Copies of this chain bind each other. A is one copy, B any other.
Amino acid sequence: MALDKNIAVLIGGVGGAKLASGLVEAVPPERLTFIVNTGDDFWHLGLKICPDLDTLMYTLAGLVNREWGWGVADDSTVTLDSLARHYQVEPWFRLGDKDLATHLLRTHWLRLGHSLTEATACLGERLGLRATVLPMCDEEVPTMVNTVERGELGFQEYFVKHAWKPAIRAIRHHGCEKAGLSPGVRQALSDADIVLIAPSNPWLSLAPILAVPGFRDLLPGLAAPLVAVTPIIAGDAVKGPTAKIMRELGLEVSAREVARFYSGLIDGFVDDRRNQPFAMNGLRTVQLNTLMNDQADKVALARALLGWIGGWAV
């Protein structure tokens, strides 16, 4: 696998960040552009919070709380505790004190009129990131989750406040009709020699990116091969609600179903070696160890999948 290839990665939160962590060690980080789900973003206590952007940036900067896979390591919650104690503000969303630095600075820049792309670039630069991190778009496209038990919920209400317990009926991307591809995203995709879809939740993390108008139309015309990595291993999600959601949506919990979700878009699919092999018309597949328990696993998966792609493309 040549090291001079440009790689664009469509990515969500925790699961995706693991692969990102391997990729930045497998290839020169300057060659990597991450196009990140912002459907989880929300405003909380006047602050713009971008969970997937933060998880990725903290991971790449070596600041992430390794135990959780998100948030900043060794963080405290003095401000949050004060809000609860002195001002009776229910602390349902964790805002660490170190984490707050990011939210404050981003919100400050957004309020000054900068785009989320610009604010993210500034944060990344100050954190010393060598890879490029882009929000999927600059407009707000909050993911709304229609649930059986509680009707429609904002994503963080569903995911954090109700701990993804309610059953999903449908998911929509509020305001997506007004969004569009940013110049940065367009450029990154057209410059890419490979486009990867990280092993993030297809319905919650990737669907919002694909819902940005222009995104789905652009992908088939790219010269670069498009390759997805399974988030389903041995018939289950590693962590998080992917398998639960698949069941709720009436889908079989399998890598094949994930590949079907991306069908028409992807040229290749990285399956896990623990899964039942499957064949799909026109789709190249490979079985690798996609379970990333430590940094060595992450780098090994990044190298193996790029090596595999190099064997039939670029």
Contact = CB atoms under 8 A, between A and B. Distances in A.
Interface centre among A45, A75, A88, A101 (most CB of B within 10 A): A101
Interface residues of A, number: 30
A108 interface: yes
A223 interface: no
Interface stretch (A79-87, A141-149, A212-220, A297-305): A79-87
Contacts of A283: none
A58 to B, nearest CB: 10
A84 to B, nearest CB: 9
Given A86-B127, A87-B126, 14 more contacts: A72-B82, A76-B78, A79-B97, A79-B100, A79-B101, A80-B101, A82-B100, A83-B101, A83-B105, A86-B101, A87-B102, A87-B105, A89-B101, A89-B105
Interface of A: 45-47, 61, 63, 72, 75-76, 78-80, 82-83, 86-89, 97-98, 100-102, 104-105, 107-108, 111, 123, 126-127
A110 to B, nearest CB: 8
18 contacts: A45-B105, A45-B108, A46-B104, A46-B107, A47-B104, A63-B86, A72-B82, A75-B78, A78-B78, A79-B79, A79-B97, A79-B104, A80-B101, A82-B101, A83-B101, A87-B123, A89-B101, A100-B100
Q: How many copies does the complex hold?
A: 2
Contacts of A107: 46
Nearest to A101: B82
Main secondary structure of the interface of A (DSSP, over half): helix
Contacts of A46: 104, 107-108, 111
A122 to B, nearest CB: 9
A230 B75 CA distance: 46
Contacts of A101: 79-80, 82-83, 86-87, 89
Given A45-B105, A107-B46, A97 B123 contact: no
Contacts of A86: 61, 63, 98, 101, 126-127
A289 B168 CA distance: 70
Given A46-B104, A104-B46, A108-B45, A97 B83 contact: no
Contact of A83 (B76, B78, B104): B104
Interface centre among A47, A80, A86, A111 (most CB of B within 10 A): A86
A114 B100 CA distance: 24
B82 A97 contact: yes
A126 B88 contact: yes
A52 to B, nearest CB: 19
What 8 A-B pairs come out closest when comparing CB atoms? A46-B108, A78-B97, A82-B101, A82-B98, A83-B101, A79-B100, A87-B126, A79-B97
A76 B100 CA distance: 14
